[in-house]
Chains A and B, each alone.
Chain A
Amino acid sequence: MSETPGIPAPPEEPSEEQASRIGVDSWVAETERHGRGRGPLWQLARLWEYSPDPVKLLAFVALASTVPFWTNEGDLFVFGLFTLLYAALGLGLNVVVGFAGLLDLGYVAFFGIGAYTYAELSSSQYGIHWPAEATIPIAMAAAALVGVVLGFSARRLLGDYLAIVTLFLGQAFVFFTGVANPTVAGKGLTGGANGIPQLDPLTFFGYQLTSTKQLYFFLLIVVTLLATALYFANQSRTGRAWRALREDPLAAEVMSIPVNRLKILAFVFGAAVAGLCGTIYAAIETAAVSTNFSVSVLIIIYAVVILGGFGSIAGVFVGAIVINCTLEFLEPQNDHPEVKRWLFYGTIVLLIALLKPWFRPVLVLAGTIAFGFVVHAIVAATTAASWTSGVPVSGASWLARWAVIPTGSHGNFNNYLYIGLVVAVVCTASLKGWWRMIALVPTLYLTALVWENMLTQNGGITAFILFGAMLIGLMTVRPQGLLGTARVEIV
């Protein structure tokens, strides 16, 4: 630190990784990445990377179509059906955000428009029972029409303002359907907070899709068609123009690319896909309820696309599987309560294992285990028995010897634990080198305590805490997502 007042200390020399990589474009970043890494895992990753996209899709479809034969009905519903639904939604959003680079925060509104259109046209609400081959195109057209209107009105707006207009559209939609509920033909148009119940099942030319298996295969076909269409769209002139638009709208315009038309096209494409998903979702749930189209759903769809990587079709599938399984395992009522514990600790150990060099993760994990026993022994020796007499929810009772789990109520103990964890994470992230490793030990132990004492009981909330943290972390560490292409700004 410089002692002279008024003159700030010279900035630290940036390390190799942190130094800004000016002048390195995405192609260079890609080839650089290819040069690194060894080992069987790397070979597998290379094999995946070099296999053409249609092969990847075929592999996925082949694998996915076996799922109904080795899972039960309930699991197929929550894991299979919803993963496919999120994948379809993610594919649509990927066009808007990933290909064209428009931040569309009203995507769920289009999803909701699809669902409500289906609900109006195929239920006892107004006694209209049209078949799905009529309602699905109408719903898609309705969503696309709103998309066109919004797209036209927002076409002059620069990036951020589009995000605002669409976000407010989403909010206005939820309020309109859930609260305002105007009276049309003697009935509330949207059924208010209760929504529209008892929708017809999907019926195509007299053939009803009622069982989970039928719906699953129908969705699989839809997702496959969508992914194929997107693959070809991405390869086409339009796809290239979208990418150009995403990288630099101004330069694209100078290159005589019709920027506005392409923006609206991407927007409408996303809206129509969301509308399609909405009809299927409404038919699966047999109801359209406004709370299902709130921002929480938006964040889930965004998490799907971002985890997989902007603009990557394969990434959407990976994101959908990871996000939906996380959500479902964290649900308090799911049938596999012990799985979520292993997933949670497994993910943490995996993340720690990414630390380099190799002995750091070993030391940190060993330190955490030892630290836990020491803390447990101290707490057991100095406080009343009720502080350590608790057992973890759903099995793994041996954990109670390592983690401090009180029984009964201990004031705000849990809340202090949670706030302590957040502070510990912030401190750990601001430390450097070995200090960070040392700080990791109590942080990890606190994480385990918070998980055992609070999070396992509050699955739904935990999911959103994790998603929020994931979005921040991913943007900081790997903004391109798991399978996205690295992009480096050219100055």
Chain B
Amino acid sequence: MTVRHQPMIDEWYPVALASQLPPGGRATQLMGTPVLVVADDPIRVVTDDGRDLPVTLRYGHVWTSLGQPAKQLFDIPEADQPGRRLIEVGVVRVRCSPLRAVENFLDIAHFPFVHTDILGAEPHTEVGKYDVEIREKEDEVWATKVQFYQPQAAKSATGGITTDYMYRVPAPTSSVLYKTCPARPGEWDVITLFVQPLQEDLCDVWPWMALFDDETATTDLIHFQQMIFLQDRSILENQIPRLLPLDPGREIPTRADLTSVAYRRWLKRHQFTYGAQLVAQ
């Protein structure tokens, strides 16, 4: 791997669900490098040449890095909040850039067309004005005051509601979404997308949730999220160009794409370019 990907090599990535690790371990890869997640106690991650990689167990997943992370894995304080149910959704492989998987997660405008009658519905297609910033202290991308009309915002929603959203990108291939919690007004449901970059145009996606919902069966919560993500998958696999363009020229963003614009700018600032296209073609 070339040195130009060093900033992303030094980041944390999910490589397995700790609860689903088979006795023989999980042979997988990270940014083109084969790694084995070993089901020892404690869990280890090793490379083919026997190098032990750093390991963090958090949010149900095994996290590792091929390099030397300068920071600990990002914090999601809600994960430790009493009363939340932590839902492991499992893995889905997608033939797309890991950065495209995150960018799609940040987009609201596609809801009525891809998640029809669930996360959006025609004619309620307008994305209202919302705020986007790159928070310097946390070094994260945040979108706030996002609102959207949704026929069935969550498994626990019984009718259409206007849902409030916040989006957060704390790492190049991870995103955290906060949305109106139908079961407990005043709190936010937390839905995350943890993306494991296998290659520049191939990734394993591990959705995970921390919800207030005392009624819905766990299986139904998993299936709701799998349904949403599998609706996205066929779109993601057909996006062109396959790598995410970081230079202007190839794609023309609209106001609804402000989160994506900030995400791309933040990626470029940090040289997080694994899965990105740098020169407009």
Q: Tell me, yes or no, whether A binds B.
A: no
- A-side residues, CB < 8 A to B, are none
- B-side residues, CB < 8 A to A, are none
